[in-house]
């Protein structure tokens, strides 16, 4: 342990809808926390599908998985995969072959408690929707990163997830302090917002009323990173990588301005007027 946290923090990365960028976010966020010197583990709760290991670039190193540990077929030490880029980052992969009901609430709690002894942050990559894996990923959470796209159906599904976080978590059952909620808006395009093709940041915030952790721009860098098995935050030159770095910094308490919200390319009309003015002043 690096002494920064008395108690490890469990973070669930969740959403109501599939394909919004949860696993990309889990990989980037866990990597970002590790980059900042925190001992971090990221767990794939998506039993039956398993994509986190692909995005983390460790799919060929999976021997044992989360369900093997739950069933007692392997120890945590055997199942945890150490990241090749950062010594303080570990991955606990999901099972590709097991049934989704293989996850047991008490067993998951026991494993999380064991991980708390060794890590500063435990990032839980939730499957989409409200199935068992998603429920267990959020049940023990201290903080939640709700990932949504700027479209009505995605925002509505996120609103439903927020309701579950506030009513069905362990904290809610015990009547203790609420899960700390954060909103991460992914695949955002200011140009498409201007054209009325997607909701603006303010539209989403008006509907969900959750503190904004970050806005991740629509970016080819995300696809490139996924295909190469590298979390996009490692690509510090890319806009998406920088946006994730900002989001991690905000999560850790830093005050950073939001970028990639405004359209940086001036409109055709604006460019024409600028050229005319330059011609006059010349």
> pLDDT tens for residues 117-126?
999 999 999 9
Arithmetic mean of pLDDT, 76-89: 97
Please identify which residue in the block is written with the tokens 């499957």. 127
Positions of E strands within the chain = 9-14, 40-44, 81-82, 89-92, 121-125, 143-148, 180-188, 212-217
pTM of the model: 0.90
Backbone Cα Rg of the chain: 20
Over 50: is that where the pLDDT of 47 sits? Answer: yes
Arithmetic mean of pLDDT, 199-224: 95
pLDDT of residue 12: 98
Q: Which tokens in the block code for residue 98?
A: 């097991």
Per cent of the chain over pLDDT 90 is 79
pLDDT tens-digit profile of 256-275? 999 999 876 555 554 555 55
How distant, in Å, are the alpha carbons of 91, 121, 164 from that of 236? 22, 22, 35
DSSP state, 143?
E
- Helix pair 132-139, 105-116: axis angle to 10 deg: 40
Arithmetic mean of pLDDT, 179-195: 96
Per cent of the chain over pLDDT 70 is 89
How many residues would you count in the chain? 282
């Amino acid at each position: 342990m690096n002494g920064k946290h008395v108690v490890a923090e469990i973070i669930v990365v969740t959403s109501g809808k599939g394909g919004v960028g949860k696993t990309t976010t889990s990989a980037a966020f866990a990597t970002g926390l590790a980059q900042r010197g925190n001992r971090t583990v990221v767990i794939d709760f998506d039993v039956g599908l398993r994509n986190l290991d692909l995005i983390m670039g460790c799919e060929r190193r999976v021997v044992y998985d989360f369900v093997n540990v739950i069933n007692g077929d392997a120890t945590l030490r055997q199942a945890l995969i150490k990241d090749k880029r950062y010594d303080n980052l570990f991955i606990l992969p999901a099972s590709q072959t097991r049934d989704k009901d293989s996850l047991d609430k008490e067993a998951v709690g026991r494993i999380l408690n064991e991980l708390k002894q060794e890590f500063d942050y435990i990032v839980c990559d939730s499957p989409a929707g409200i199935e068992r894996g998603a429920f267990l990923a959020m049940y023990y959470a201290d903080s939640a990163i709700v990932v949504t796209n700027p479209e009505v159906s995605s925002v509505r599904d996120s609103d439903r997830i927020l309701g579950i976080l506030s009513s069905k978590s362990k904290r809610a059952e015990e009547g203790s302090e609420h899960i700390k909620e954060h909103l991460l808006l992914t695949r955002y395009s200011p140009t498409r917002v201007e054209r009325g093709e997607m909701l603006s940041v303010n539209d989403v915030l008006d509907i969900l009323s959750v503190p904004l952790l970050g806005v991740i721009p629509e970016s080819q860098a995300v696809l490139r990173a996924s295909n190469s098995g590298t979390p996009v935050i490692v690509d510090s030159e890319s806009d998406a990588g920088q946006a994730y770095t900002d989001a991690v910094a905000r999560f850790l308490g830093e005050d950073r301005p939001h970028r990639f919200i405004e359209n940086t390319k001036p409109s055709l009309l604006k460019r024409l007027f600028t050229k005319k003015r330059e011609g006059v002043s010349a």
